[in-house]
Amino acid sequence: MSTSAPRATPSTPAERARALLQVMKNRALVPDGYIEQLTQLMEHQWNPQNGARVVAKAWTDPAFRELLLRDGTAACAQFGYTGPQGEYIVALEDTPTLKNVIVCSLCSCTNWPVLGLPPEWYKGFEFRARLVREGRTVLRELGTELPAEVQVKVWDTTAETRYLVLPVRPAGTENWSEEELQKCVTKDVLIGVALPSAG
Amino acid sequence: MDGFHDLGGFQGFGPVPHRINSLSYQPVFKQDWEHLAYSLMFIGVDQLKKFSVDEVRHAVERLDVRQHVGTEYYERYVIATATLLVETGVITQAELDEALGSPFKLANPAHSQGRPAITGRAPFAVGDRVRVRDEYVAGHIRMPAYVRGKEGVILHRTHEQWPFPDTIGHGDLSAVPQPTYHVEFKVTDLWGDAADDGRVVVDLFESYLDKVQGGHAVVP
């Protein structure tokens, strides 16, 4: 019986990525500027600050909030925040008794234009395996302790819908401007693992 | 495909390696090759039009399990893209091996040719009680195993339709567009009391679902 462990490959991930790039370049399959342009989008334009702007506007503009909850795609399109992996957007409304959290248990699906590319921990096996089954426990371990009366609702991103969480506006922010409100809407708030804080 | 990638509910993992709001998330890419993963993938999808994003997901699922466990996230997308470019005849294994200077291990071949969607049924409505079909699909499918055979309630039917993943995920362009449904499940219906109380909502293609006729109890 063979019980051998997998053999270490003689190459590194970086070497394999560059080997594939080299083969594609040799075949003239890489359009000029394509990688640079997409990388610019991924590194800079798809950013959780986009989602923070959407949430802050929804907190201060009831008509926009209604649109965001009824047609998230149209609401985000007003800012130009649609595109690859953000073409059918649904906003998830937290309430004083409901906490929404997003995951992709099968891979890493995320609302790229609104939240930015997913972080390593979101794509990691731990979060993908555990959140759907023990959401409250995972949130507690991450640093978000929820009262018993708050129900946890986990949204598994398994098709084309891409989500963002619309959290409850924190107390103590009544007179804040949209710009100030944006600062308490972090990437972790948009994913749903964190609550916005006025402090 | 009942593969390792289908992680929802898998036990044995430790804490999620994160504390809320502890990261700036800049720079986005931590290593100087990571941006190549999605870039090269999208060249295959958008420029060459040789495969779909669904096929990329399926190719990642086809990684040998031992390789899957030991790879980094972006690495898996490099391997998937290389696999699909070889399978569609755009490049060859020999070219990859030569550029790398050692064997470039690709994903395993598919177990299946894929399957068509179910058509001709009435759509489901918000509030309908539905059961996820008790089906075992060897190829690509966007139904996490933890909802197979389970009952839930429809919260939303999408107003757009997309090619059925079980078809397009195999490169079969006859894939029928279908709406998806946000189906809410009680966590205790999925894992009993071995789970936290709460709800899980899964975005399921129409072909994965049957309507539960009113009043009939779940078979115990």
Rg (CA), chain A: 20
Select from B22, B52, B65, B4 the least CA-distant residue to A105: B4
Residues A90-102, mean pLDDT to the nearest whole number:
98
Q: pLDDT band at A9, cuts 50/70/90? A: low
pLDDT at B217: 44
Q: What is the pLDDT of residue A5?
A: 56
Average pLDDT over residues B115-134: 97
Contact B174, B141 (CB under 8 A): no
Q: Average pLDDT for residues B15-30, to the nearest whole number?
A: 97
Decide if B78 and A17 are in contact by the 8 Å CB cutoff: yes
How do B162-163 and B177-178 pair as beta strands? antiparallel
Which one of A21, A48, A107 has the shortest CB-CB distance to B40? A21
ipTM: 0.96
Average pLDDT over residues A2-23: 82
Residue A97 has pLDDT above 50, yes or no: yes
Q: Binning pLDDT at 50, 70 and 90, where does residue A143 land? A: very high
Any chain A CB within 8 A of the CB of B146? Answer: yes
Q: Are strands B129-132 and B151-157 parallel, antiparallel or unpaired?
A: antiparallel
**In this structure, what DSSP letter does residue B145 have?**
G
Higher pLDDT, B218 or B165: B165
Identify the residue among A49, A71, A94, A132 best suited for mutation to test binding to B, counting B beta carbons within 10 A and taking the highest. Answer: A132
Question: Quick one: how far is CA A184 from the chain centroid?
Answer: 16
List pLDDT tens digits, range A112-132: 999 999 999 999 999 999 999
Q: What's the pTM value of the predicted model, to 2 decimals?
A: 0.96
Q: What is the pLDDT of residue A10?
A: 82
What secondary structure does DSSP assign to A56-93, as a single string? HHHHH-HHHHHHHHH-HHHHHHTTT--BTTBSSEEEEE
Question: Residue B39: which of A35, A135, A194 has the nearest Cβ?
Answer: A35
pLDDT at A199: 78
Tell me: pLDDT of A3 over 70: no
pLDDT reading at B220 higher than 80: no
